[in-house]
Amino acid sequence: MYKKFTGFDNICIVGTGAIGGAFGGFLSVAGCEVTFIQKNEDIINEIKENGLSISGVKDIHLNNVTIASPGSITQKHDLILLAVKAYSLEEAVKSTLPIIGENTYVVCLQNGLGISEVVRKYVNEEQVIEGVVWFPATMVKPGYIKVLTFYEQSILGGRSYRSQEYAKKLALLLTSAGIPTKAVDNISNEVWRKAIPVIAGNSINAITRTKLGIISEIPELKESLFAVAKESLKIARAEGIELDEEYLRKSMLSALEKGYEHETSMLLDIVNNRKTEIDFLNGKIIALGKKHNIQTPLNLLIYGVIKALEGG
């Protein structure tokens, strides 16, 4: 299938967690040549031995998965998808520099704010694409991913003509592979449109340790969700981002309903005593609030609670 598209002869996915595994699985089934990069040797051996499986919206099982450790491959790649945690992003970018050529495109798929800035410290802006993933995925165990639903089309966008043209082709490829995706001109708005619900919902989900959908069933939690989102929206507007508050409320409620059984990555990080991505979420809101002299007490409270709970 992928041979209908040019510029995708070899694809590297950095990270084999929920998002990396999902993208890699769908692209592999579509016929793309995919190589995973993973620094954990135990996970490498697990996937080499048992393959990669996806269940939920589509059942996939791949044997003979190509997976390697950072630094062990040197071939330049057409496309690199960065699917590691936000706090590991800088390390991941540095590790892939040897396989980034003049015609390589790098896509960042992390939740949060300030993500592409990390990548653009090392990679030409002309080659960087920002991604907004609109489906919940969970890694049950290494090599086994659940994708429960697609909320809406995932989104890609570049900040230059060259990267934007590639983003359009990549969106078509991903859609053909089974991940509904579109390219947009104003990617900054889309990053914020996803970030605000994540900033509000993931943190509350992690603190309460419930299924995501429970938030909508407890009035006080639902109002807390909206209050954190509203506070974050003030910061977005100070940054020149225009988003409709009522639209955000409706989209958050829809996400809670569609992903009722979902446990967010932040919750799983807390439960498993790992570091969270809070610095790129509520932490960024606090920092931007200081920049614009806007108080962010709700985000400050949540940030402190998560920092007290997280491990790593």
- Structure token pair of residue 247: 């639209």
Q: What is the identity of the amino acid at 227?
A: A
Q: Which of 85, 146, 194, 284 is catalytic?
A: 194
Query: What torsion do the CA atoms of 236, 123, 85, 211 make, to the nearest 10 degrees?
Result: 40
SS3 59: coil
- CA–CA separation, 128 and 123 (whole Å): 7
- CA–CA separation, 267 and 258 (whole Å): 18
Q: What is the identity of the amino acid at 250?
A: K
CA angle 248, 253, 255 (to 5 degrees): 95
Residue 194 a catalytic site member? yes
30-57: buried (b, 16+ CB within 10 Å) or exposed (e) per residue?
bebebbbbbbeeebbebbeeebbbbebb
Q: Which residue, among 57, 70, 303, has the nearest Cα to 202 in the 3D structure?
A: 303
DSSP track, 83-115:
-S-GGGHHHHHHHHGGGEEEEEEEEE--SSSSH
The separation between the first and the last C-alpha atoms of the chain, rounded to the nearest angstrom, is: 41
Catalytic residues: 194
